[in-house]
Amino acid sequence: MEEQTPYDMIGGEAPLRALVDRFYDLMLLEPEFALLRSLHPEDLSEARNRLFWFLSGWLGGPQLYMERFGHPRLRARHLPFSIGEAERDQWVKCMVRAMEEMDVSEGLRLRLGVNFFKTADFMRNRDNKIVIGPSDNP
């Protein structure tokens, strides 16, 4: 008997699409995700598709993203955006909330939450240290 993939556990294509749509809807509607929203273009259609295609393969389903664009090269594709801890945290919080609202099982939500955090943390390309005045280091 084969072990189910996270893609299967979510329910496949339609529930995954609904999860991605809920993620972007939350980003649009909730002021707490305003910083995250500011990193995206006004029209979120392409972002919705790309995240759906990526998550399909990442979760063990059809490799839709790779079929269209090749290797995701996530870090390289996110370098044009200034991503620090606050952006990372908003992304993860928005996705966790979307999973909760879409009734993703608690076990899967916890498992994916850890993996989403690790991946989002890897996207960080900005240090969040606050510098006040000139450095005392020579």
- Higher per-residue pLDDT: 128 or 59: 59
Q: In this predicted structure, what is the pLDDT of residue 47? A: 96
What is the rounded CA–CA span in Å between residue 1 and residue 92?
A: 33
As a whole-number percent, the residues of the chain with pLDDT over 90 amount to 80
Q: Residue 24 contacts by C-beta under 8 Å, 6 or more apart in sequence?
A: 44, 47, 48, 51
Flag whether the pTM goes above 0.75. yes
Q: In this predicted structure, what is the pLDDT of residue 126? A: 84
What tokens appear for 55 in the block?
């998550």
Q: For residue range 31-85, what is the model confidence (pLDDT) as tens digits?
A: 999 999 999 999 999 999 999 999 999 999 999 999 999 998 988 888 888 899 9
